[in-house]
Amino acid sequence: MVPPKPKRKRRNDDDITTDESLDVINLLKELNTKMDENLATTKVIKKELVEVKSILSTHDKRLTTAEKKIEKVESSVSSLQQDNESIKKDLNAINLIFAGFPDFPDEIESDLYNRVKIILSTLVDEEVPFDTAFRLGKYVQSKRRPVKVRFLSMSQRNLIYNNRSKVTPPFYINEDLPFSLRRDYSILHNKKKEEIQKGIPKEEIQIDHKLKRITIQGQVFTIMNSVLQPINSTNCTSNSQSSSGRNSPAHSSKHFLEQQMTFVSQTPRSQTL
């Protein structure tokens, strides 16, 4: 028979030695010191966080203020551009651009003036004087530089412009517009060509040059910062009117004009009237 194990004597608190008591006290002191240090560090971190939040708030306010100032500047720049565009348009309103004229590398001013006179005589029955006529750009072989013609009065300019439909391709008469307007108009007309190529009837596409808009089957697009963007409204209507009536001149006028154009292009410069 196995003898029972002797009972283990339970240790009383009175049995803890002085050294052990000191170790426990020192450990508690160390823990208390670390807690104080951590508390102090936490307070510093909280203070720094408050400062960071304050700085971020200040920067956010400054950023908001800067963004508002940028918006105002952009708006002012846009307004100035529109004003400049309007001024240029007004200054150039008395001019017309004649495109498709035969071009020569050694063309002299008198030859060009005579060609312009011949074209003008085919458009109206009366003689229309003009101030200046000159080519735009440098001569490039196989290309025809446009001619800018400046008239002496708006009435004379309008008389020619209102009869521009008598001109047949490759000859055209256009307004003298600033580059930005020519670019925007080109975007509109290129969009119209694209839609026609997709099969949309021309009658369902209207262009409003004044508002820089194009309406395609009721959907309106406008130009913003040189980009064509849709307008979410089917109630917007274009104020532009069909110019089909202007594009159907009498056959006799076309035939006579074509004869004159052929004469201008084939006549040697030294024999030009």
In a domain, 5, yes or no: no
Judgement on whether residues 172 and 192 belong to the same structural domain of the protein = no
Cα dihedral sign, 108-109-114-119: positive
Nearest to 135 by CA among 124, 143, 123: 143
Contact 191, 182 (CB under 8 A): no
What average pLDDT does this structure show over 9-23? 62
Distance CA 106, CA 51 (A): 76
53-99, pLDDT tens digit by residue? Answer: 888 888 888 888 888 888 888 888 877 877 777 787 788 899 999 99
Judgement on whether residues 168 and 255 belong to the same structural domain of the protein = yes
Q: What is the pTM of this model?
A: 0.50
Q: pLDDT-based confidence at 239, cuts 50/70/90?
A: very low
What average pLDDT does this structure show over 114-138? 93
Q: Which pLDDT score, from 0 to 100, does residue 14 have?
A: 53
45-54, 125-134, 152-161, 211-220: segment of lowest average pLDDT: 45-54
Q: pLDDT-based confidence at 28, cuts 50/70/90?
A: confident
Q: Which pLDDT score, from 0 to 100, does residue 128 have?
A: 94
Q: pLDDT-based confidence at 4, cuts 50/70/90?
A: low
Helix (H) or strand (E) holding 150: strand 147-151
Judgement on whether residues 255 and 171 belong to the same structural domain of the protein = yes
Judgement on whether residues 68 and 120 belong to the same structural domain of the protein = no
Please check the confidence at residue 260 and state whether its pLDDT lies above 90: no
Judgement on whether residues 111 and 229 belong to the same structural domain of the protein = no
Judgement on whether residues 199 and 222 belong to the same structural domain of the protein = yes
Judgement on whether residues 172 and 225 belong to the same structural domain of the protein = no
Please check the confidence at residue 114 and state whether its pLDDT lies above 60: yes
What average pLDDT does this structure show over 253-271? 47
In a domain, 50, yes or no: yes
Whole domain around residue 261: which residue ranges? 93-176+247-273
Please check the confidence at residue 246 and state whether its pLDDT lies above 70: no
In a domain, 154, yes or no: yes
Last residue of a domain, which of 58, 91, 124? 91
Q: Which pLDDT score, from 0 to 100, does residue 258 have?
A: 54
Q: Which pLDDT score, from 0 to 100, does residue 33 have?
A: 86
CATH code for position 140: 3.30.70.1820
Contacts of residue 88, defined as CB under 8 A and 6 or more positions apart, other chains included, come to 178
Q: Which pLDDT score, from 0 to 100, does residue 250 have?
A: 42
Judgement on whether residues 107 and 163 belong to the same structural domain of the protein = yes
Judgement on whether residues 26 and 84 belong to the same structural domain of the protein = yes
Q: How many domains does the chain have?
A: 3
161-190, pLDDT tens digit by residue? Answer: 999 999 888 889 999 988 888 889 889 999
Judgement on whether residues 71 and 183 belong to the same structural domain of the protein = no
In a domain, 4, yes or no: no
Please check the confidence at residue 138 and state whether its pLDDT lies above 60: yes
What average pLDDT does this structure show over 39-58? 88
183-192, 222-231, 264-273: segment of lowest average pLDDT: 264-273
Judgement on whether residues 41 and 150 belong to the same structural domain of the protein = no
Q: Which pLDDT score, from 0 to 100, does residue 18 have?
A: 72
Residue type, 249: P
Average pLDDT, the chain: 80
Distance CA 103, CA 146 (A): 9
Q: What are phi and psi of 32, to 5 degrees?
A: -65, -40
Q: Which pLDDT score, from 0 to 100, does residue 268 have?
A: 43
Please check the confidence at residue 235 and state whether its pLDDT lies above 90: no
Judgement on whether residues 139 and 100 belong to the same structural domain of the protein = yes
Alpha carbon 89 to chain centroid, angstroms: 19
Share of the chain above pLDDT 70, in %: 78
In a domain, 86, yes or no: yes
